[in-house]
A and B are shown apart, each in its own frame.
Chain A
Amino acid sequence: MYAFDIERPTTIGDAVSALGHEEAQALGGGQTLIPTLKQRLAAPAKLVSLTGISEMKGICTTDDGSLCIGGGTCHADVAAGAGAYPALADLAGHIGDPAVRNRGTIGGSLANNDPSACYPSAVLGSGATIITSNREIAADDFFDGLFTTALEDGEIITEVRFPVPEKASYQKFEQPASRFALVGVFVAKYADGVRVAVTGASEGGVFRWSEAEAALSANFAPEAIEELSVDGSGMISDLHGSGDYRAHLVTVMTRRAVAAAH
């Protein structure tokens, strides 16, 4: 790692001002950033650790029934505390491994927007709202390709607000080495329609599979999408699977998610 200073503010306001310095970078749970720093692939002059900000941690339910998760809430706490949204709790409970889940945070995961991460599919698949230190961003406007989001420099994800669906499921097919999603599909059925978000597969990062959404909105059953397919040409092709394989898995995992939704 290159040398840097580390600050550990206790309020969002202090964190924002600390991030105002040039070459400062936010540090969530660090489960992706620290390995990156070890490889010397990032060179911040200052890291602003968000782990000491208690107002960014925790889970609550709003008056309209949405589930709010503080941006600094770790995956293990979401797995244990998001019982109101079982598919989300289940997703959080299968990110990485137990020790990673005790450190990694929802805000950190979303800000990083790894194309194989799990959370982006839940956020996009739920039509969640990302609340930052200075605004609210709809999920559909947030993800912007690999490792890129609508966040501006110094902007912190303080909360994510999930409308709770009637039923939902996340089905992950793991890459055998990293155990990240080779393909992960989040399906959520709301009163006004079904959302299907796919992670791990596309060269463009997490995306909504609109054909499946239309078919499932009409008939929420695995058979409804049996005839649908995804084009493999825009899919990631690597050691662990071709684009065609990933495209195939998108259909399989979507069917399984529909069958498992509860």
Chain B
Amino acid sequence: MPKDGGIGASTKRREDVRFLTGNGNYTDDINLHGQAYVHFLRSDVAHGLINKVDTEAASAMPGVLRIFTGADFEGVGGIPCGWQVTDRFGEVMQEPAHPVLAQGKVRHVGDPIAAIVAETYAQARDAAEAIEYDIDELPAVVNMKDALKEGAPKVHDDLKSNLCYDWGFVEENKGAVNEAFEKAAHVTTLELVNNRLIANPMEPRVAVGDFNRSTGDHTLYTTSQNPHVIRLLMGAFVLGIPEHKLRVVSPDVGGGFGTKIFHYAEEAFCTFAAKALNRPVKWTSTRSEAFMSDAHGRDHVTKIELALDKDNNFTALRTDTHANMGAYLSTFAPSVPTWLHGTLMAGNYKTPLIYVNVKAVFTNTVPVDAYRGAGRPEATFQLERVIDKAARELGVDPIALRRQNFITEFPYATPVAVEYDTGDYHATMDKLQEIGDLSGFEARRKASEAKGKLRGLGINCYIEACGIAPSNLVGQLGARAGLYESATVRVNATGGLVVMTGSHSHGQGHETAFPQVIAEMIGIDASMVEIIHGDTNNGPMGMGTYGSRSLAVGGSAMVRATEKIINKAKKIAAHLMEASEADIELKDGAFSVAGTDKSVAWGDVTLAAYVPHNYPLEDIEPGLEETAFYDPSNFTYPSGAYACEVEVDPETGRVTIERFSAADDFGNIVNPMIVSGQVHGGIGQGIGQALLEACAYDENGQLQTGSYMDYAMPRADDVPFYTVDHSCQTPCTHNPLGVKGCGEAGAIGSPPAVVNAVIDALQSGGKNVTHIDMPLSPSRVWAAMQG
């Protein structure tokens, strides 16, 4: 296979051409004939009783078609949660109702009170100001620990408390873990915050609902990472529309990072209102609106303790985390601090005893759910920070301490219920030391000191569980969905292929990378393969893209479907060449009979399938189209080692990233260019979390970071060029491509490297600083230096 189009080639992305010329088709670019516009009137208080919403005067405003309130959604389902966690006492989590529009109470700033549909967006917004509403403001709960106190205001009056669940993992290990701590030679303790973030894909969310009264068909165009999931959740649980009467389309989507996984009220509203008004209804979020309506990420408060024996072997790990759910349970919120977090607490280390406690808490804030990495960054951050702190307390080299405790034999069953299939953590650490030129650090530190700057080096390792996920396993853990993926491969008569994948590309480059796999399998040019995704009317039920799963799960489904195609094509080829099927070989786009010079081209076989004049009709059907569903047998476990070098300005506290190196093991790689790009982007977001980004609320639940004026997004001059390497490859053992996934690694592996580096820099300057909570803004670093 020529390396310009098969597996391992850095093929340039074909989708780039439309994006670079302004010809992308994003949801906001879709305008339907006769469409109306909706504006949501959102609560400006965090918690309150709705006494009155009077829409009469507003309804008479110019252009207003109809104003909807919570009352219009009586009898309509609420926004569902897709995961039910069972707590450490065997009780299921508390699960509040989540109406499309607020009913009775508002529970966070941004909770929608009314929806105004008008001829123009400006008219809808004008009318919103004419709605007379009266809300009795109630005391808000914002701080999680306060929310759990006796007598705290309840976010949901019908629940017992603000505690969603109290999860222990592995509960049976708790006693043994505590015992190990009593015997420990050294215990390192760290209390930390994993800062609340807003995902901020550059494309704000958009929804356009449409209804065809003559057929009863609904269509929703939406900025989703998983249109089939939206179709199922919204159709079955909210609006009662059977799937065959509901089409969900997610065309070009401008980034997701998790926050476009979830089913949102605005999607249900536009679909509902399109039918009620018999007109298309469009909603385009402003960025300001996105800050108070897109699900947020992270927001954990953790105490972690690491026990070591006298030889510095890790003997036990114990964590206590409060995880913010916000005011309602977003689609996958309960799974993030539990099964995507607790199961990763072993990290790259053979710690034999681990106990994780997570209390998930309702507060009067925007719902919190998965954001790039989802649970795994939180696990990695606390683990790699406490190891670094332990190394400093013990006076040992942080790399040596990690290496000493690395898992080295695979498969490895962790004490937190997962089995790593492959990995080589020494190899990635070796590679990191090489590409990061860590031996040259001391010289660079001296150079920085000569200019009056403190320089620090931070190291960390990570492991993640990707390729989500085995359906029977996640079913046992509370998922209300399967997590397989699907593909239909359609071969046309003239030999070209169309793949309809359940994966969704919103920047990942599937349109380029997926054809590379098929090109390799068949031996044809990748340009003969087209990828279709993002339309529930075009392709089988798919679960979408998140959790670094597209190639590992969606790609595997495509491989399985293509194998079926090849098997059938071999039967046809055997017939055409009057040979035995067992003797047919496929190479470079041609079928040949082993040991002979007989050969028939790919295109001749595909043509025969559709023009079956000379064809084994008694044995096989005409046509060449196959579907496969792939359900993985395990997660995949990408891993790596990262190094960050920072300079700190001791006068101002300003931190600059001077070098960043990442050595990852993603198993096999289809398109190295795209993989590097994914890592770059993840590192950029991780540096953002470490140095810049924080979503902040005041004690009354007012969002203080309501725009880019206060929420600091990383810009080009906040980051350096990164050095990334993915030559360490231990292929996944259980999927056909041997791939592990690369989408989240950068965001998981980079925050602890940055923070470890800053602590190293400050300590090198004689400052007794052992921890600073992210983001390490200049003011926080300066304050820490003041002691």
User: Chain A interface (Cβ within 8 Å of chain B)?
Assistant: 1-3, 38-40, 173, 176-178, 182, 239-242, 245, 248-249, 252
In the docked arrangement, what's the CA distance between A252 and B779, Å?
14
A-B contact pairs, 12 of them (CB 8 A): A1-B122, A2-B126, A176-B692, A177-B708, A177-B710, A177-B711, A239-B705, A239-B710, A241-B779, A245-B778, A249-B652, A252-B651
Q: Is the CB of B779 within 8 A of A242?
A: yes
Identify the 3 closest CB pairs spanning chains A and B, nearest first. Answer: A177-B712, A241-B779, A176-B712
Indicate if the CB atoms of B710 and A241 lie closer than 8 Å: no
Contact digits for B690-732, partner A, Cβ 8 Å, 1 yes 0 no? 0110101000000011001111110000000000000000000
Number of A-B contacts (CB under 8 A): 48
Q: Is the Cβ of B710 less than 8 Å from the Cβ of A245?
A: no
Taking A173-B654, A177-B692 as known contacts, 16 extra A-B pairs with beta carbons closer than 8 A to each other, sorted by chain A number, are: A40-B125, A173-B652, A176-B692, A176-B712, A176-B777, A176-B778, A178-B710, A239-B694, A240-B777, A241-B779, A242-B779, A245-B782, A245-B783, A248-B782, A249-B652, A252-B651
Contacting residues, chain A, for B777 (C-beta < 8 A):
176, 240-241
* Residue B31 at the chain A interface, CB threshold 8 Å: no
A residues within 8 A CB of B694? 239
A239 touches B709 (CB 8 A): no
Q: Complex formed: what's the CA distance from A201 to B779 in Å?
A: 13
- Smallest CB–CB gap between A182 and chain B, Å? 8
Which chain B residues lie closer than 8 Å to A245 at the CB level?
778-779, 782-783
Q: Which of B760-787 contact A (CB under 8 A)?
A: 777-779, 782-783
Dominant secondary structure at the B interface? loop
Q: Give a binary string over B111-129; 1 marks a CB under 8 Å from any A CB, 0 the rest.
A: 0000000000010011001
What DSSP secondary structure best describes chain A's contact surface?
A: loop
Residues of B within 8 A of A242 (CB): 779, 783
By the criterion of a CB under 8 Å from any partner CB, how many residues of chain B are at the interface?
26
Write the chain B residue with the least CB distance to A116. Answer: B709
A255's nearest neighbour on chain B, judged by CB, is B651
Interface 1/0s, chain B 172-195, versus A by CB < 8 A?
000000000000000000000000
Q: Is the CB of A178 within 8 A of B709?
A: yes
A220 to B354, CA, bound (A): 62
Interface-centre pick from B288, B708, B709 (highest chain A CB count, 10 A): B709
- A138: min CB distance to chain B, Å: 32
For the complex, what is the distance from the CA of A242 to the CA of B778, rounded to whole Å? 11
Q: Tell me the complex Cα distance, A38–B777, Å.
A: 29
Given the contacts A173-B652, A177-B709, A177-B711, A241 and B778 also touching, CB distance less than 8 Å: yes
- Nearest neighbor of B696 in chain A, beta-carbon distance: A239
Within 8 A of A (CB), among B122-179: 122, 125-126, 129
Interface contact B652-A3, CB-CB below 8 Å: no
Query: In the bound complex, do residue B712 and residue A39 qualify as a contact, i.e. CB atoms below 8 Å apart?
Result: no
* Contact status B708-A239, CB under 8 Å: no
B708 touches A252 (CB 8 A): no
How far is B777's CA from A2's CA once the two chains are assembled, in angstroms?
37
Alpha-carbon gap, A130 to B710, bound state (A): 31
Q: Once the chains are docked, how many angstroms separate the CA of A151 from the CA of B779? A: 35
Contacts of B713 in A (CB 8 A): 177
| Residues of chain B lying within 8 A (CB to CB) of residue A240 | 710, 777, 779
Interface residue ranges of B604-660 to A (CB < 8 Å): 651-652, 654
Residue of chain A at shortest CB distance from B779: A241
A240 and B710 alpha carbons, distance in the complex (Å): 8
B433-465: CB near A (< 8 Å → 1, else 0) gives 000000000000000000000000000000000
Chain B residues whose CB sits within 8 angstroms of the CB of A2 once the complex forms? 126
In the complex, the chain B residue whose C-beta lies closest to that of A246 is B779
Chain B residues with CB below 8 A from A1, complex form? 122
Residue of B nearest to A251 (CB): B651
CA distance A148 to B708 in the complex (A): 24
Identity of the chain A residue whose Cβ is nearest the Cβ of B651 in the assembled complex: A252
| Bound CA span A176–B126, Å | 34
- Give chain A nearest CB distance to B482 CB in angstroms: 41
Closest CB in chain B relative to A74 CB, distance in Å = 21
Type the 1/0 row for B271-303, where 1 means its CB is closer than 8 Å to any CB of A: 000000000000000101000000000000000
- Per the bound structure, the CA–CA distance linking A3 and B125 in Å amounts to 11
Contacts of B711 in A (CB 8 A): 177
B709 neighbours in A (Cβ, 8 Å): 177-178
A93 to B652, CA, bound (A): 23
Interface centre among A173, A239, A248, A252 (most CB of B within 10 A): A239
A-contact 0/1 string along B642-682, CB 8 Å cutoff: 00000000011010000000000000000000000000000
| Complexed CA–CA distance, A126 and B778 (Å) | 29
Which residues of chain A are within 8 angstroms of B652 by Cβ–Cβ distance?
173, 249, 252
Kindly state the separation between the CA atoms of A81 and B634 in the bound complex, as whole angstroms: 64
